[in-house]
Amino acid sequence: MTGTGATTSPVLLEVRAVNVRFPRPRSVLDVLARRPASAMEAVREASLRIAPGETLGLVGESGSGKTTLGRAILQLHPVAAGEILYRGRSVHDPMPDWQRRLRREVQMVFQDPYSSLNPRMTVAQTLSEVLRFHAVVPAAGVAAEARRLMELVGLSASLADRLPRAMSGGQRQRVGLARALAVRPALLVLDEPVAALDVSIQAQILNLLDDLRHELGLAMLFVAHDLSVVRHVSDRVAVMYRGRLVEQGSREEIFARPAHPYTRMLLAAVPRVGAGKRARQVQPDTDLATPPEGCAFAPRCALAAEACRAGLPPERKLGPPPGAACHFAAS
Amino acid sequence: MSTAPASPAPAPASGRLRAELSRWSPSLRIGLGLLASIVLAGLFAPWLTPYDPLRQDYGAALLSPGPAHWFGTDSIGRDIFTRALYAIRTDLVIGFWTTYVPMLVGVLLGAWAGLKRGWFDAVLMRVIDTALAFPFLVLIIVILAILGPGTHNIYIAVFLVGWTMYARLARSEMLVEASKDYVLAARTLGYPTWRILLRHALPNIINSSIVFSMSDFVLNILLVSGLSFLGLGVPAPTPEWGAMVAEGKDFMQQAWWISTLPGLMIVITGVALALVGDGLTYRLGDRHVTGH
Amino acid sequence: MSPGIEGAPLLEVRDLEVSFRVRDGEVRASRGVSLAVHAGETVGLVGESGSGKSVLCRAVLRLLPEPAAQVKGGRVLFDGTDLLALPEARMREIRGTDIAMVFQNPMTSLSPVWPVGDQITEGLRVHRGLSRAAAREQGIALMRATGIPEPGRRFDDHPWQWSGGMLQRAVIAMAMACSPRLLLADEPTTALDVTIQEQILALLAQLQADSGMAMVLVSHDIGVVAETCDRIAVMYAGMVVESGPATEVLGNPRHPYTLGLLGSSPRVDDAGHRLDPIPGQPPDLAQVSAGCPFAARCGFASEECHRTQVRLADVAPGHASACLFPERIR
């Protein structure tokens, strides 16, 4: 992201040209033949910023790299190139005090309510463990704090001694949220937190997140594939396609005036209520083989030209900070 | 995409115990009952029989089963029933040590390897592959040949070879478990690896090892019995089922009871453990299926 | 249910009752479900988990797991014949030929062992007795019709080589092989990216237009249903709570649950306002409630709602609701 340097608000999280790679396993033959290790580039030169209290929606389809990027911020994946800075300091700085601080200030909520909780620990045990380990409150106050957290996320106190298997998906997600909030983070990374929930429960959780944002002044990185959800929660939006950030902007800019052809395609594809039956154009399947040189979206893009296939488009600025990575970004 | 309705709150303790027992299949109940009987018989052996398992009485040699000697006597006049009862202590203790020590070490090593990956995992896997490439019994015999016979050396030999199976089992289960979100959550919360291993992951993967240990227990008893048969096992005159079978092999024609009845004890114990293992598979696996 | 303008329905489900036996009792997955689908029409079934929409599709094709699932009552009339009364052999003839089904997860809908082309044409060989060569030719044509590029070459590919979107096209090709008159699509795009979903829905619409086939589209996504269906049925706790023309039901909902679904759904074209979620949890289908199953969560409910059995009744021509007090809504 080549934003203008001066921003009035301090930046909480900054991701600079980050690459995340997953090495492909090599067979013995490959090693003997000295073939270089190839890798799958999950995230390529991604840059973004989040200000305190701000919600950035990171949107993309499968293979976009959005989940990988979210996890890399939490150091769940190693970064092959680039930097991730929290309050100006690299998250990979190994000083134990810094790492401990990071664990308290940056937390994550996971997608799958069925595997995100330890099946053998009750709600109370899960929360107490966090509170005790991080000494969030003195030992005597742990039980009370656990109760407070449950109340904060809308869980009835009677659920304290329940195991995950005796709870619904929505309830489990609330527990996951409580666990992440127990350390009182400044930044919360949410990886598709409502994708596995029914619409009515999803709405409850989204409203809860909204309340918490305002009550706690949380910054959030909301990773999702569902544009309607992202629109609902985000202040700013970043769009990813096949490992790259293709567009960033305020919610208003992205949804009202999308600049990148992929963003426009994505928006057009979202089903809407109210317009009745929609006539659609039938297209043949787009075979997504290895991304070519140049713009990864070129094979599917109506505006694609030689320049697109030849070289990576620079991120063109459309006014302040972000922009769209396209030769033909509309203004 | 389902939101399973929440079950009702947990019931009081006595009700829970009864509910738990009602979940036990017939296999589990029969197996545990049988096992308990065997253990008690071994514990109370001195009260269950008047004879001394070691006392020889040439005058009463090779007596067939009858009111005085329920299982008959062997070639030097020792009462088979008494020896079979006292052998319970020997065999169950041997079974325990040869199963649960390798299990403890193997599971910890394997689980750690599965969680951390990297060079430790690679080295461990090669060691396991090497150990498991040889026939189990051959390795044991070789080790015993080096160390010499004796009960403690048996423990060492079985331990050196036996941990590998548990390590491999625990490792593959851990590979699956480590990718689950709650383990990732534990990492993001900054918990150290040993804590994640012991407190979080291990309790969730231990079930298959427990079930496996049931059959391992039986196999180890059979192993020691086999070693005794070969003369490498428990030294005489300690009563041990396999040794008793070996002692009786020369008398199969005239005194079948010397080998057969101890052999029967092995079978019954094996069946009991197998039933428990079977029942445990369902009971432990049950949780994940029904959510109860 | 009021008769359709188009004449006698192709598929008519009347008061279907399906129960599942579970460890501690019985779960009523379908309680008196009624639905009608006319030739060429697209009917949407929308609801959350536990609403009974998938169970309904499987019940029509008699694909429910026996003995756990039991059809306790009702009729499923296809062209006048009660499918529930047919012998299994006759039912097998209907499956794949007159009525076909497409499932949610394309990754598991195809066997990983056999080539895709063989799976697409299996129906042709079983039901129509075609030879391998003739089936291959038709299979390639089907693949082309469903937008699979290079069908001749790809006929022998294995499923693991293909993406989710392409696999779903193959599944659709498989369903279309014997030219069914009715297609049951159970969440066909839920597991797909939204841009791929667009393609698949377009494909289904075209195939329908070309063949005059009727379609039942099951989805939890009210937007998908809004954009593809002529009529929709909203399901909750195993019953249809509202049905009618899509634009009317969504524009002028006459059941609190439909209103709740609309209020809970975030919109891509309208932001800023807070979502209006339905309070509480989805119902436990093992507990049989007297009265309206939605009463516990309903903002308009009164004492009567908890006591009286509810049934679908017309609130306008062609538009029915199971609410006792539809006039209270809005």
> How many other CB atoms are there within 10 angstroms of residue C145's CB atom?
18
What percent of chain A is predicted at pLDDT more than 70? 85
pLDDT of residue C248: 92
Least CB-CB distance to C197: which of A265, A269, A278?
Answer: A269
Interface of A with B in 96-155 (CB under 8 A): 99-100, 103, 107-108, 110-112, 115-121, 129-130, 133-134
Host H or E run for residue A311: none
Chain C: nearest CA to B5, how far in angstroms?
6
Q: Which of C42, C275, C285 should be substituted to probe chain A, the one whose Cβ sees the most A Cβ atoms within 10 Å?
A: C275
Mean pLDDT by 10 residues, chain A (331 residues): 46 92 76 75 90 94 91 93 94 93 95 91 95 92 94 92 90 95 95 90 91 92 93 92 90 89 90 80 66 69 70 51 65 46
Looking at the predicted structure, is the pLDDT value of residue C190 above 70?
Answer: yes
Q: Name the DSSP letter for residue B198.
A: I
Least CB-CB distance to A115: which of B3, B182, B190?
Answer: B182
Chain B residues near residue A98 by CB distance under 8 angstroms? none
Contact C281 B5 (CB under 8 A): yes
With bands split at pLDDT 50, 70 and 90, how would you rate the model's confidence at C174?
A: very high
pLDDT of residue C271: 64
Q: Are A43 and A69 in contact (CB under 8 A)?
A: yes
Chains in touch with C (3+ beta-carbon pairs under 8 Å) read: A, B
Residue given tokens 């020691």 in the structure block: B224
pLDDT of residue A288: 60
Amino acid letter, B203: P
The alpha-carbon radius of gyration of chain C (Å, integer) is 20
Give the residue on A whose Cα is nearest the Cα of B177.
A115
**Cβ of residue B44 closer than 8 Å to a chain A Cβ:** no
C150-157 mean pLDDT? 91
B202-207 mean pLDDT? 89
Structural domain boundaries of chain C? 11-98+180-328
With bands split at pLDDT 50, 70 and 90, how would you rate the model's confidence at B282?
A: confident
User: Which tokens belong to A257?
Assistant: 């005036």
Contact C49 B1 (CB under 8 A): yes
Chain C residues near residue B290 by CB distance under 8 angstroms? 23
Contact C251 A269 (CB under 8 A): no
Q: Are C104 and C186 in contact (CB under 8 A)?
A: yes
**Cβ of residue A165 closer than 8 Å to a chain B Cβ:** yes
Contact A111 B180 (CB under 8 A): no
Give the residue on C whose Cα is nearest the Cα of B23.
C23
Domains and CATH numbers, chain B: 27-290 (1.10.3720.10)
> For residue range B255-276, what is the model confidence (pLDDT) as tens digits?
888 888 888 998 999 899 889 9
**Cβ of residue B289 closer than 8 Å to a chain A Cβ:** no
With bands split at pLDDT 50, 70 and 90, how would you rate the model's confidence at B13?
A: low
pLDDT of residue B51: 83
Contact C278 A277 (CB under 8 A): no
Least CB-CB distance to B3: which of C23, C190, C281?
Answer: C281
Parallel/antiparallel/unpaired status of strands A219-224 and A187-191: parallel
Contact C49 B6 (CB under 8 A): no
Contact C267 A251 (CB under 8 A): no
Least CB-CB distance to B5: which of C48, C220, C284?
Answer: C284
Whole-number Å distance between alpha carbons of A102 and B35: 53
What 3-state DSSP class applies to A54?
A: coil
Q: What is the CATH number of domain C11-98+180-328?
A: 3.40.50.300
Contact A100 B9 (CB under 8 A): no
**Cβ of residue B9 closer than 8 Å to a chain A Cβ:** yes
Least CB-CB distance to A207: which of C169, C199, C277?
Answer: C277
Whole-number Å distance between alpha carbons of C276 and C263: 5
Quote the pTM value.
Answer: 0.84
Amino acid letter, A292: P
Least CB-CB distance to B1: which of C220, C281, C283?
Answer: C220
Q: Are A238 and A58 in contact (CB under 8 A)?
A: yes
**Cβ of residue C271 closer than 8 Å to a chain A Cβ:** yes
pLDDT of residue A78: 92
Q: Name the DSSP letter for residue A141.
A: G
Lowest mean pLDDT among B91-105, B150-164, C121-135, C283-297: C283-297
Whole-number Å distance between alpha carbons of B115 and B121: 9
With bands split at pLDDT 50, 70 and 90, how would you rate the model's confidence at B158?
A: very high
Contact B3 C23 (CB under 8 A): no
Contact C48 B3 (CB under 8 A): yes
Whole-number Å distance between alpha carbons of C266 and C272: 10
Give the residue on A whose Cα is nearest the Cα of B203.
A120
Chain C residues near residue A279 by CB distance under 8 angstroms? 205
pLDDT of residue A13: 94
**Cβ of residue A137 closer than 8 Å to a chain C Cβ:** no
Looking at the predicted structure, is the pLDDT value of residue C53 above 50?
Answer: yes
Chain B: nearest CA to C256, how far in angstroms?
20
Measured over all CA atoms, what is the biggest interatomic distance in chain B, rounded to whole angstroms? 79
Chain C: nearest CA to B282, how far in angstroms?
15
Chain A residues near residue B200 by CB distance under 8 angstroms? 118, 121
Name the strands in the sheet holding A236-241, side by side, starting at the edge strand that comes first in the sequence. Answer: A106-109, A187-191, A219-224, A55-59, A236-241, A244-250, A323-324, A316-317
Whole-number Å distance between alpha carbons of B230 and B212: 27
Give the residue on C whose Cα is nearest the Cα of B7.
C284
What 3-state DSSP class applies to A55?
A: strand
A226 Cβ contact partners less than 8 Å away, ≥ 6 residues apart: A195, C194, C266
Range with the largest mean pLDDT of A295-299, B32-36, B42-46: B32-36
Parallel/antiparallel/unpaired status of strands A187-191 and A81-86: unpaired
Looking at the predicted structure, is the pLDDT value of residue C251 above 70?
Answer: yes
**Cβ of residue C193 closer than 8 Å to a chain A Cβ:** yes
pLDDT of residue A312: 65
Q: Are C295 and C309 in contact (CB under 8 A)?
A: no
pLDDT of residue A326: 74
With bands split at pLDDT 50, 70 and 90, how would you rate the model's confidence at B77?
A: confident
pLDDT of residue B75: 84
Calculate helix-pair angle for B257-290, B202-229, nearest 10 degrees.
Answer: 170
Chain B residues near residue C264 by CB distance under 8 angstroms? none
Q: Please name which of A216, A215, A214 lies closest in space to residue A233, comparing C-alpha atoms.
A: A214
| ipTM for the complex shown | 0.85
> For residue range A67-78, what is the model confidence (pLDDT) as tens digits?
999 999 999 999
Least CB-CB distance to C23: which of B1, B5, B290?
Answer: B290
Chain A residues near residue B181 by CB distance under 8 angstroms? 110-112, 115-116
Give the residue on B whose Cα is nearest the Cα of A121.
B200
Chain B residues near residue A110 by CB distance under 8 angstroms? 181, 184-185
Whole-number Å distance between alpha carbons of B116 and B197: 10
Least CB-CB distance to B204: which of A120, A158, A183?
Answer: A120
